[in-house]
Chain A
Amino acid sequence: MNKRQVVLESISALLIMLFLYASVSKILDFDRFIGEMNNQPFPNSWTPFLVWTVPSLEIAISLALIFERTRMVGFIASLVLMTLFTIYTGAILLHFFAYVPCSCGGVIRKLSWPQHLVFNLFFVALSVMGIILQRRSFFKSILITKNSFV
């Protein structure tokens, strides 16, 4: 196992821990999660969609990150989701919304919004690193597949 692979596995493990922890926490305390989602500055009609979509996406990303073949998709999805969360956090910090509730799983909800921003940016950076490191082996596998057809 070379250095790059160790780093890749570690990044995947950290992202899996984040998404799996957050999704399982939400599912374990689902009523509270619904209440907190209703407390967000979105229309309440979005809640039934969001309370199922967010944890499902987090679990799907975790699963994608576990397997080598789907890891690239996992990193990209992780980057997109974490970027959306970061934009939302930034909007809250810039007082884009009049009130600032939190809807995060488990102990993450205890973070303040500036801490949330740093936390999210860290995982955005990890996702970007994951994409860069994974890209090489991703393209290599595509080349191998192409050559096997020739």
Chain B
Amino acid sequence: MKKIKLIIMTLAIAFSIGGAFATAPRLPQDCQGATQYYFNGGYVLAGRLGVDYICVTPSSAVCTYYKVGSTYTPCMNGVYCTSNCRSSNPSPKKAKN
């Protein structure tokens, strides 16, 4: 009985830790690990997610982009927002420059 229990627990631990490693994002493939930009006439550094901005969802708009070579590629969906984000009408950030 104890042997069966040991096998079940060992398998559960091995699968969960192994699964976590197997599904962990590898940085070049994971856009959120890259520097984020937002589009406001030109591409501007977005800052830190949750600190400088949030992506208000649900929205099909592109919130942030990341750079692949010299191309800006869409990364996160939502409305790029830095103020009034928790209201029903979030306002996008104004360009810094």
Interface of A is mostly: helix
Which residue of B has the minimal Cβ distance to A113? Answer: B58
The 3 lowest CB-CB distance pairs between A and B, nearest first, are A38-B50, A24-B20, A20-B16
Cross-chain pairs A/B with CB under 8 angstroms, 25 sampled: A1-B4, A1-B5, A13-B8, A13-B9, A13-B12, A17-B12, A17-B15, A17-B19, A20-B12, A24-B17, A25-B24, A29-B24, A32-B32, A32-B33, A35-B50, A38-B48, A38-B50, A40-B50, A97-B86, A98-B86, A99-B86, A101-B55, A106-B19, A106-B24, A107-B23
A14–B90 alpha-carbon span in the complex (Å)? 40
Which residue of B has the minimal Cβ distance to A5? Answer: B1
A-B contact count (CB 8 A): 105
Q: How far is the CB of B33 from chain A (nearest CB, A)?
A: 7
Which residue of B has the minimal Cβ distance to A26? Answer: B20
Q: How far is the CB of A112 from chain B (nearest CB, A)?
A: 10
Give residues in A with beta carbon < 8 Å to B.
Answer: 1, 5, 9-10, 12-14, 16-21, 24-25, 28-29, 31-32, 34-41, 44, 47, 62, 66, 97-101, 105-107
A25–B21 alpha-carbon span in the complex (Å)? 7
Q: How far is the CB of B82 from chain A (nearest CB, A)?
A: 12
Residues in A neighbouring B58, C-beta threshold 8 A: 100
Q: How far is the CB of B25 from chain A (nearest CB, A)?
A: 6
